Amino acid sequence: QVQLVESGGGLVQAGGSPRLSCAASGRTFSTYHMGWFRQAPGKEREFVATISWNGGSTSYLNSVKGRFTISRDNAKNMVYLQMNRLKPEDTAVYYCAAGDTSHPVYVMITPRFYDRWGQGTQVTVSS
């Protein structure tokens, strides 16, 4: 039932700190685990971060740990990805996704456990 729309992508210099936003619509938003994934053209989709339905648990890709922060505001139906100290290798299309809370949160690093996806927002990091 949830629909997702990402925003905040664009061209940024290495070391920059943009914030991606994911706006969700639907009455059951708070019942979903949320995640961010990224994919470069011709490459496999890659897990970036996930957050449990109430924000109590988060997990990150090792290469972004300490640089990226996922958060959510259920009252506003919003999920965010704050990205700091960007590197050229962070260049990708970033996707917001929603997964059912029937799954244990530790499996939410896998794309197949998400059932709703946004259209993606391009993040290009220049050196």
Task: Tell me what pLDDT residue 10 has.
Answer: 97
Task: Tell me what pLDDT residue 29 has.
Answer: 77
pLDDT classification of 30: cutoffs 50, 70, 90: confident
- Strands annotated E in 1-127: 3-7, 10-13, 19-25, 32-39, 46-51, 58-60, 68-73, 78-83, 92-100, 116-117, 121-126
Task: Tell me what pLDDT residue 35 has.
Answer: 97
Tens digits of residue pLDDT in 68-108: 999 999 999 999 999 999 999 999 999 999 999 899 888 99
Taking the C-alpha atoms of residue 40 and residue 26, their distance in angstroms, rounded to an integer, is: 29
Task: Tell me what pLDDT residue 124 has.
Answer: 98
